[in-house]
């Protein structure tokens, strides 16, 4: 069972490759790269990020890797147009990965058509998806039942499941 997030170490005992939707879950039965079954039992509220490390009950360290998944990549040379695209996708609560001259979002033909209409070239591809954590991810907090601070991510979609 993997229960603890730890500082990334130079040496790890294995790797856990997951798409973003599964990296958002705090309770999960899955497999390590190589096929060994493993369970996650992590604190709620913070998705696993590419490169992060987890410690197993046996003391071993495992690195998280963003697995390739179906995404749409919108590219545009005009920064104002790209900002407008990011605004409209964010207004639809789409998780976005923002890079130099592009935005990525989960595969969605309706959103892709909208983005094309705004002036970007859109390509469907398989690639790691590492969306922005959100404005409230690092600064927001609340008190847990034990009185300690607990991070909160304001994502009403997560609570809808």
Decide if 100 is inside a domain.
Answer: yes
Residue 135 confidence (pLDDT)? 65
- Taking only the tens place, the pLDDT of each residue in 89-142 is 999 999 999 999 999 999 999 999 999 999 999 999 999 999 998 765 654 333
DSSP state letter for 154: -
Do 50 and 78 lie in one domain? The reply is no
Decide if 102 is inside a domain.
Answer: yes
10 or 22, higher pLDDT:
22
Structural domain tally of the chain?
Answer: 2
Instruction: Please check the confidence at residue 153 and state whether its pLDDT lies above 80.
Output: no
Q: Where in the sequence is the domain holding 97, given as residue range(s)?
A: 68-128
pTM equals: 0.76
Q: For 19-148, where are the alpha helices, taking DSSP H only?
A: 20-23, 79-91, 109-117
- Taking only the tens place, the pLDDT of each residue in 47-66 is 999 999 999 999 999 999 99
- Of 36, 66, 96, the residue that ends a domain is 66
Residue 45 confidence (pLDDT)? 85
User: Could you tell me the CATH number of the domain that includes residue 91?
Assistant: 3.30.70.790
**63 phi and psi angles, rounded to 5 deg:** -90, 135
The token pair at 128 is 């790691």
Distance CA 54, CA 56 (A): 7
Confidence of residue 80 (pLDDT cuts 50, 70, 90): very high
Do 58 and 103 lie in one domain? The reply is no
Residue 155 confidence (pLDDT)? 35
Do 61 and 113 lie in one domain? The reply is no
Do 19 and 43 lie in one domain? The reply is yes
Do 60 and 75 lie in one domain? The reply is no
Decide if 151 is inside a domain.
Answer: no
Decide if 119 is inside a domain.
Answer: yes
Q: Among 3-17, 68-82, 112-126, whose mean pLDDT is lowest?
A: 3-17
Decide if 134 is inside a domain.
Answer: no
User: Could you tell me the CATH number of the domain that includes residue 11?
Assistant: 2.60.260.20
Do 43 and 57 lie in one domain? The reply is yes
**8 phi and psi angles, rounded to 5 deg:** -60, 130
87 or 138, higher pLDDT:
87
Three-state DSSP state, 19 = coil
Which residues, in sequence order, are bridge partners of residue 151? 141
């Amino acid at each position: 069972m993997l229960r603890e997030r730890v500082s990334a170490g130079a040496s790890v005992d294995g790797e856990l490759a997951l798409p973003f939707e599964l990296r958002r879950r705090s309770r999960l039965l899955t497999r390590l790269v190589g096929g060994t079954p493993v369970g996650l039992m992590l604190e709620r509220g913070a998705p696993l990020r590419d490169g992060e490390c987890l410690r197993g009950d046996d003391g071993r360290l495992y690195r998280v890797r963003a697995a390739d998944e179906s995404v749409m990549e919108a590219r545009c040379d005009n920064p104002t147009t790209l900002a407008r695209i990011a605004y409209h996708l964010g207004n639809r609560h789409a998780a976005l990965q923002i890079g130099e001259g592009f935005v990525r979002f989960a595969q969605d033909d309706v959103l892709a058509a909208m983005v094309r209409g705004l002036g970007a070239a859109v390509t469907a591809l398989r690639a790691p998806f590492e969306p922005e954590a959100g404005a409230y991810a690092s600064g927001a907090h609340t008190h847990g039942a034990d009185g300690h601070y607990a991070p909160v991510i304001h994502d009403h979609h997560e609570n809808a499941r």
